[in-house]
A and B are shown apart, each in its own frame.
Chain A
Amino acid sequence: MTHSLTARGSVIDIPDEPDWARMRSETGARLRSAMADHGVDALILLMNGHVVYATGASWPLLDAGLSHVERPVAVVLADDEHPHLFMPFRSGASTESPVPDDHLHGPIYLEFDQGVEHFARILAELIPPGANVAVDELTGAMRRTAPKLFLSGAPSDAAIVVGAAQLVKTQDELSCIRKACQITEEAIVDVQKALAPGVRQIDLSAAFVRRAFELGATANMLEAIWQVMPSSREAGVWTTHGDLALPLLTTDRELAAGDVLWTDQSITYAGYCSDFGRTWVVGDQLSPRQRDQFVQWRAILDATLAVTTAGATSGDLARATIAAYGGRKPWLPHFYLGHGIGTYPAEAPMIGTDLGEEFDDNFVFPAGMVLVLEPVVWEDGTGGYRSEEIVVITEDGFTPITDYPYSPYGD
């Protein structure tokens, strides 16, 4: 099979299998270093992706609503190499814990006043008086109990600290992300084979999730998207900006020959996300204009990759990409040219958003950052083209993580 991308510069070595102990040790060190940089003594983490990062725990995620109630919680202390983990007991408990026994606690229910008061008593023993505390979210009950919970005053935002640590991935995190992508790609092979007129969008979702779990996915991260593109912008769904809608939800709709699909899928492996996107044509019959669209898209991606390296800024990538598309932005107004990925499917940096050019120009890529690039091109009557590729930033270029053919558009 032809590789979809080729590395530029020195190729980094990503282990086939993650070394879990090393990963926890290295990410823990990064997190505590970020805490020191931000003057934070204790982190209280409620967001799933942050808990995964801080503790190494991973689990088959619940939907958003259940996640608020039965949520693992982490407490990270600046002077303790091991995080504290408060783990709900939803189904059969695993015999393996990523933290030492004296750091593993029972469930904590922060939606409720009694749960928060219980938590406050535990925190009073863990966190020294006067410590600077950061938290990533406060429930209503936490707000009501804040004086008892945060003894040294209002907490700062933990998302900023965790985000700083997460920006550069360790070799074992890269291994997890690549494994998530490999599982996704292997599952997608069978899905793409099944693509034919008469198949429902939802059938593709069913086939994908089955295969992904068989191959070792920990969780499905995103409702799988198989969006049928309109014949023109005008004919598409109304949007706030007048450009294309994306993503549109999957339904029972039967696909017809000639439908152009933009796909988007994400699963996790050990808490790390994949992100897959390709454009397909039902029946695989392409017009010359559609082939031209792909050629144009690929040229744009190559222009982006030509400036992708450590030391480049988000602004550098945006400018190179816009130049390759004749001065237009090859991404939708509500999205971006690219984004980071890790324990969340979309982490910083988001490139080309309403954060503005100055923000993008000040965002310098470090080696070890992982970037998902997803330019889109559009011409009425073609269905456009969109695909996603993931690369690791290196000192002198990038190393690709994704590897899936562009059929039926290319090899």
Chain B
Amino acid sequence: MATEVSPDAPTLRAGRRERALAQMDAYDLDILVLGRQANIRYVTGAPQLWIAGTRPFGPMCVVVRATGDIYLNSTADEGMPEEIGHDHLYGLAWNPMTLIEVLKNIDGAATARRVGTDAITPTFAALLPTAFPRAELVDGELAMRAARRIKTPDEIAAMGPALRVAENGIAAAVSELQPGLSEQTLAGAVLEAMAAGGVSTPATQDAAWVTSRAHPWRRAHPNGKVREGDLVAFAAGALAGGYVGEVGRTWPARNRRDDSTRKLYRRSNTLYDQLIAACRPGTSTGELLAAYRARAGSGFRSARCVRNALDCGPTRLPRGRNGAGDHRLRVARGRRGGISPRHGPHHRRRR
């Protein structure tokens, strides 16, 4: 972490913006109005204040296809990329009509035919036509998802630091693991180490939990304390430089590895090797799920823990079961298929 707040590197910004504008073309969007933090970071490259949880939709960022101009809701210019000038910044507002007035005055708002938003509230659905009187308001999230799905080489490079920070978070908590400690203390150790490593913006905070000996996929008990021989699941997620890095490991308390634990870990490692081997261009998520089911056996958790891609920023690609149908993995230059190792009782070989 630096001692100053800086925008993302110029090539990273340019590469992402190019992809976003290409998808605006593909989806025929004259203007994109964004409220989601990850989308805004993607198109602007400007660091933003982190607040946990969902935020209600608001017009926090506007992208104009014809000019490539970006307007951003930011009261201050610290960390602002040079291409977003002072005249393109608008301050924090509490009255939705203040924001609508800002949108009205954006070049192209009056003539836009199709305006996409990445989510909408009933209130803004009613107000936005005032700002874009000739436009059809449509979903813009699909365009952003398409843009973000394939990572540029600069993005792949940018993900590394987030993963390192998450790994260090887990390492710190594992070094403290002993019977008697609470899940909360271990979670605090993960978050403390990530912050000390420069990231006070966690992607996840459910960082440690004692697995139940009686029920699969359950916590041993609410607000549990670690007991001798427990298997403790650690899951660290860091949001660093706009990218999520998540790492998961399961560790036995007192590092006591009996035969059954070793067997479990071997099974888990084999499963992972198979899944990673199955991640090839053109593979469908259905095939990944099939590989999972074939190897996991009945004792493993349902296949929802299989992911078909390493996350970019905080939006996931579709996954199987309830969420989505069969998606093909696509690989572009720099693309990296990956499976998060954070779920379930597994212990990956430490490198």
Contact = CB atoms under 8 A, between A and B. Distances in A.
A202 B200 contact: yes
Contacts of B89: 240
Contact of B56 (A47, A62, A94, A335): A47
A311 to B, nearest CB: 23
Interface string B107-148: 000000000001111110100000000000011111000000
Interface stretch (B274-282, B320-328, B331-339): B320-328
Given A203-B196, A253-B3, A237 B119 contact: no
A202 B195 contact: yes
A176 to B, nearest CB: 15
A93 interface: yes
A61 B202 CA distance: 9
Nearest to A160: B123
Interface in A220-262: 220-224, 237-241, 245, 247-254
Nearest to A253: B3
Contact of A251 (B1, B38, B182, B316): B1
Given A205-B195, A354-B95, A334 B201 contact: no
B94 A211 contact: no
A112 B324 contact: yes
Interface string B89-103: 111111100100000
Contact of A60 (B56, B120, B205, B210): B205
A60 B90 contact: no
Of the candidates A111, A141, A345, the one having the most CB atoms from chain B within 10 angstroms of its own CB is: A111
Contacts of B74: 240
A96 B210 CA distance: 15
Contacts of A48: 53-54
Interface stretch (B7-15, B62-70, B215-223): B215-223
Contacts of B141: 111, 139-140
A49 B91 contact: no
A211 B207 CA distance: 15
A363 to B, nearest CB: 12
Interface in A160-186: 160
Contacts of A143: 120, 138-139
Of the candidates A63, A213, A239, A353, the one having the most CB atoms from chain B within 10 angstroms of its own CB is: A63
Contacts of A115: 322-324
B213 interface: no
Contacts of A221: 51-53
A354 B94 contact: yes
B44 interface: no
A136 B56 contact: yes
Nearest to A238: B77
Contacts of A138: 119-122, 125
Contacts of A210: 188-189, 191-192
Interface string A125-144: 00000000011111111011
A249 B47 contact: yes
Contact of A68 (B1, B54, B198): B54
Contacts of A106: 322
Contacts of A65: 36-38, 203, 239, 244, 313-315
Interface in A52-66: 59-66
A120 B115 CA distance: 26
Contact of B1 (A47, A59, A141, A252): A252
Given A114-B322, A356-B95, A247 B38 contact: no
Given A92-B218, A248-B78, A345-B51, A60 B196 contact: no
B157 to A, nearest CB: 20
B52 A334 contact: no
A159 interface: yes
A216 interface: yes
A202 B192 CA distance: 10
A156 B75 contact: no
Contacts of A69: 315-316
Interface of A: 46-49, 59-71, 89-96, 106-109, 111-115, 118, 134-141, 143-144, 154-160, 202-203, 205-207, 209-214, 216-217, 219-224, 237-241, 245, 247-254, 268, 333-336, 345, 350, 353-356
10 contacts: A68-B314, A91-B235, A92-B210, A106-B322, A210-B191, A238-B86, A240-B90, A248-B78, A253-B4, A356-B95
Interface of B: 1-5, 36-38, 47, 49-57, 74-79, 86, 89-95, 98, 118-123, 125, 138-142, 182, 184-185, 187-189, 191-193, 195-196, 198, 200-207, 209-212, 215, 217-219, 221-222, 233, 235, 237, 239, 244, 304, 313-316, 318, 322-325, 343
Given A92-B219, A140-B118, A143-B139, 9 more contacts: A65-B239, A113-B324, A157-B122, A221-B53, A223-B50, A248-B5, A248-B76, A333-B91, A354-B95
